[in-house]
Amino acid sequence: MIALIDYDAGNMRSVEKALIHLGEKPIVTRDREKILSADRIILPGVGSFGDAMENLEKFGLPAILKEAVDSGIPLLGICLGMQVLFEESEESKGVKGLGFLKGKILRIPAKEGLKIPHMGWNSLEYPREGRLFQDILEHSYVYFVHSYYLKAEDEDIVTATADYGVKIHASVERGNVFGCQFHPEKSGEIGLQILKNFVERQEGF
């Protein structure tokens, strides 16, 4: 069972539809028992870092998610859902993230010819092998919508990068915690394969 975390800050329906397309039966929930009994957890997210953390706190979700991660359940954060896995963001100074992974969320620097937010298709490069990218060729294109990007403290957790005037840490993994800055649910067949790798692959998860 796949638990989609409901905290009033997610692009929930598009992720849910993509999973249903893959033959899964996800549940949208913020219930502790359902989350802790899930085989996989997905944390979507759109909006601001501060609002997302406020909503997560309002529903008591940080402690539940930490318990789930500590118990070994694979967790995937998508877009803002990936950003809140880290410690802090320039978007909402003074607001602490979940801190499951170390790094900061920075504003994409303004450069001539580049629009912010970064919205559209970009190719990925793989600095190292990532479990989410099995059977997906390097330089495949995925869909981004964001104004802030991750700079991970430990680059060994970075499994995909993209270039948009700055090197964006586009996907990360450490143990059972995964993140994608881009939207796999909006990235066509490539994105569906990424989600399939997360929800179906057993070895190494």
The pLDDT value recorded for residue 205 is 65
In a domain, 170, yes or no: yes
In a domain, 49, yes or no: yes
The pLDDT value recorded for residue 203 is 57
In a domain, 205, yes or no: no
C-alpha closest to that of 181 among 151, 144, 156, 127:
144
Q: What is the DSSP letter of 110?
A: P
Rounded Cα distance between 58 and 7, Å, is 9
CATH number at residue 156: 3.40.50.880
User: Which residues are known to be catalytic?
Assistant: 79, 183, 185
Total domains, the chain: 1
In a domain, 163, yes or no: yes
Rounded Cα distance between 190 and 53, Å, is 29
Q: Could you report the per-residue pLDDT of 185-203, keeping only the tens digit for each? A: 999 999 999 999 999 876 5
> Whole domain around residue 125: which residue ranges?
2-200
Query: How far is Cα of residue 130 from the mean position of the Cα atoms in its chain?
Result: 14
C-alpha closest to that of 185 among 15, 24, 42:
15
In a structure prediction context, what are the per-residue pLDDT tens digits for the chain, which is 205 residues long? 999 999 987 778 999 999 999 999 999 999 999 999 999 999 999 899 999 999 999 999 999 999 999 999 999 999 999 999 999 999 999 999 999 999 999 999 988 888 999 999 999 999 999 999 999 999 999 999 999 999 999 999 999 999 999 999 999 999 999 999 999 999 999 999 999 999 987 656 6
Q: What is the pTM of this model?
A: 0.96
